[in-house]
Each structure stands twice: as C-alpha cells, then as structure tokens.
Structure 1
C-alpha cells in the first residue's frame, strides 16, 4: 500500500512540475538516470541477498530481520520494475504535454517524460536510503555480535 501511495505522490508532484515548469527532461537524461538506478539496484539487492546473520541466536530477531529484508527486497524489485517501465515508456511516448484542465489561465498539464523522470529519480533515492539502512544494520549486527 505504501508503494502505491508513493506512486500517487510522484504523479501529483509530476503534475505540479509539468504545470509550472517549461523545462522538460530529455530521454537521454532518463536513460542516464536509469543506468544509475540499475547500478544502485544491483548493489542494494546484492547487499540484501548476501546479508549475513551468522551468530544471531535470538529466533525472534532472525524472524524480524528476515521479514524486513524481504520487504526491502520486494520494494527494490517494485521500484526497479517501475523504473524499467518508465524508461521504456519514454522511448515510445511523445514529449508533448497533455492538458488535463484549463480555466482562468491556469492549467494542469501532464508530461510523460517529467513523470517518468521523477519515477526513476525517486527509485534512485529509495535505493540509496535503503542501501545505507541495510549497511548500517549489517554493521550494527556485527558490532553487537563482537562485543567484548
């Protein structure tokens, strides 16, 4: 549910940005962001898959850590899939704006490229934040297990 809410927030931000900004992202920018997203996805997923819980004896901690890692893994897969779809869509959609509403010289505009660029940028931000959190968890777990 949280992922769907994030998607709607990105769409709302995109509508606002498309309506007030005249600059539109170029497909090459989205492609570059997608490359960065792919690298961050690979690093983050590798960190999740190779997370080491050797030495953890508390069964409830093990269950909780696995549950959280699985949730982060599923979110990584969701956001990378979203980034992939967004990048493909930008290759086949026109850069034209779609005017959704216009009254009293105020218009709400949707631009696919803006929306897709924000999806990919958000996924990169998500990967970075969760990559750092998983890395911190790994270090904290190591420190806790090696206390003297």
Structure 2
C-alpha cells in the first residue's frame, strides 16, 4: 500500500513538473496507455491464477507461496483499480478546467496527472509480470527437481 501511495505522489510530482515545462495531458494517450495496462493486467492475473501449488509437498513453503500470490493479486487489483478511477475522473472532468495555474509558476494538469499515473502503473505491472513469470518458472523447476529426486531414491 505504501508503494502505491509513493507511486501516486511520484506521478503527481512528475506531472506537475511536466506541466510547468509546458506539457499537456492528452485523452487519446491516456486511453491507449490504459488499454495496454488492461492487457498486461489481464495477463498478470492469468499467470497468478494458473499457479498450481498442489505438487509442493512442503506445507510451510506452500503456505508462504500462497500468501505471496494472494498479496501480489491484491496489489495488482488495487493498482489497476486506482488507475481505472484516475482514468474515469480525468475523462469526465470538465474539459474547460483541466489545467489550473497558481502562483504564476505552478501548473496542475488533471489529464497529465492521469497519463503519468497510468504510465507508472503500466511500468509497475510489467515489472510485476516479469517477477511473476520468473516465480512461475522457478516453481516448475523446483517441482521437476523434486520429482526427479523422488524417482532416483
């Protein structure tokens, strides 16, 4: 949860910095990034639910892996939920008031905040996908090794 809050703070800071530099948010970019995020999220969730721990005989290891998988699932769902909420808010926000200027130098661009947040979310999900895939192959290798050792005994 702390990592999610940190990503949100980083996204807002980056978006404000970019807005001050003159960059504006774009709904088409936001929707495209969200579409890609949805695809990566779907693949990651599929990988999570396809884990089979039935051949892991060590109960402590199985429970640890199950807790880790549950935590990863919850974090992916929470991250995707936040990205969805931000997308909806940015798209329904009054188009005339998407950009706010304050103190003659500060700029907040709602659409740009959404774009940056969804982009950071996409990077996070791709990173997690790679970690999940590695965990999946490590579990397969461990199960295969355990079965080979059982046969050789």
Both structures adopt the same fold (TM-score exceeding 0.5): yes
Aligned-residue offset at 1:43? 0.8
- Number of equivalent positions: 143
Larger Rg, first or second structure (1 or 2):
2
> What residue is the counterpart of 1:12 in the other structure?
13
Q: Give the secondary structure class of the aligned counterpart of 2:25.
A: coil
Note if contact 1:80-1:123 (Cα within 8 Å) is conserved in structure 2: yes
List per-residue Cα deviations over 1:70-123 (Å, max 9, x = no partner). 111111111111121121122222264212333xxxx12110111000111111
Listed as ranges, the matches of 1:31-110 within 5 Å are 31-93=31-93, 94=95, 96-102=98-104, 107-110=105-108
Note the residue ranges of structure 1 that are not aligned, 5 or more in a row.
Answer: none
Q: Which has the larger share of helix?
A: 2
d(CA) in 1 for partners of 2:79, 2:90:
16
TM-score (norm 2): 0.85
Note if contact 1:82-1:119 (Cα within 8 Å) is conserved in structure 2: no
TM-score (norm 1): 0.88
List per-residue Cα deviations over 1:36-95 (Å, max 9, x = no partner). 111111111111112111311122211221121111111111111112112112222226
Note if contact 1:97-1:109 (Cα within 8 Å) is conserved in structure 2: yes
RMSD (Å), alpha carbons:
1.5
Note the residue ranges of structure 2 that are not aligned, 5 or more in a row.
Answer: 149-153
Q: Give the secondary structure class of the aligned counterpart of 1:146.
A: helix
